[in-house]
Amino acid sequence: METILIILKSIILGVVEGITEFLPISSTGHLVIVQNLIKFRGASPYYVEMYTYVIQLGAILAVVVLYWHKIRATLVNFFPRQGGNGQSGLEFWLTVFVACIPGGVLGILFDDLAEKYLFNPVSVAITLFLGGIWMLYAEKRYRPEFTGQELKVTFGQAWLIGLFQCLAIIPGMSRSASTIIGGWVAGLSTVAATEFSFFLAIPVMAGMSTLKIIKVGGLAALTFAEKLSLLAGFFVSFLVALLVIDRFIAYLKKKPMRIFAVYRLFFALLVLGAGLTGIFR
């Protein structure tokens, strides 16, 4: 019965992750809140912490599947061609690497502090609220009018986006929102900024998940129920993300991100109200 319960809870969390990973509303923040709400626990003290990152790999796999034609093109055209005008695969993945550097360094330095003091519903709600206000301002101030979809990022633009990604160390800020806004500031269109955010998520989340697995002592350190719940969350998040990504891109081509900022504000107030009434205790 206990195994069935933890798997059911994991399925719920997989749905939450698949919906929120690429929307600018913070998947980690939502997972922290829902985990507390449904009392998601594991035998290992580090299991829940690791789970939060590892099931995000399911959503990242959805990016690989949906954008495989573009990933394959960067691999086929990996080396620069003499006289070629387009960006080679090597140049593209180097820009992704450059964008990973700031967050990777700060993540190593401050990740444990963030987990110790900020991975709780009230802190997440405050960050969701402040991030929602920031999104409203950024969309009005920085979102470009042009809608070009060419995904060509310079090293300077990649570095700037990477600096913005550092904000995602704070749970509730949203890696997606931070990198998309960073793309706007760097001069990318909304679609190009969003797609670069997707590609950037692949090495970032793979690296974070690997570190968490090492920290918990490897998958062998998990109980049978924990392994099953992790597998269930992974596949559910993958399937749900497959449905969400295309719809999100189609939405951004025509409409502003304002609706997500407004959602963050209302959801944050709801969570803060629930926290004050003791629901999360």
Q: How confident is the model at residue 45 (pLDDT cuts 50, 70, 90)?
A: low
**Per-residue pLDDT reduced to its tens digit, 173-222:** 999 999 999 999 999 999 899 999 999 999 988 888 887 777 766 777 78
What residue type is assigned to position 50 of the chain?
M
Q: How confident is the model at residue 277 (pLDDT cuts 50, 70, 90)?
A: low
User: How buried is residue 263: exposed, middle or buried, by Cβ count under 10 Å (0-12/13-18/19+)?
Assistant: middle
What is the pTM (predicted TM-score) of this model? Answer: 0.90
Question: With contact defined as beta carbons under 8 Å apart, do 152 and 94 qualify?
Answer: no
User: How buried is residue 221: exposed, middle or buried, by Cβ count under 10 Å (0-12/13-18/19+)?
Assistant: middle
Lookup result for tokens 């590609």: 199
Query: What is the mean predicted confidence (pLDDT) over 7-34?
Result: 93
DSSP for 45-90, written as a single string: TTHHHHHHHHTHHHHHHHHHHHTHHHHHHHHHT-SPPTT--SPPHH
Q: How confident is the model at residue 84 (pLDDT cuts 50, 70, 90)?
A: low
**Per-residue pLDDT reduced to its tens digit, 51-79:** 888 898 899 999 999 999 999 998 888 88
**Per-residue pLDDT reduced to its tens digit, 217-252:** 677 778 888 889 999 999 999 999 999 998 998 898
Residue 110 and residue 182: Cα distance in Å, rounded?
Answer: 21
Residue 74 and residue 89: Cα distance in Å, rounded?
Answer: 4
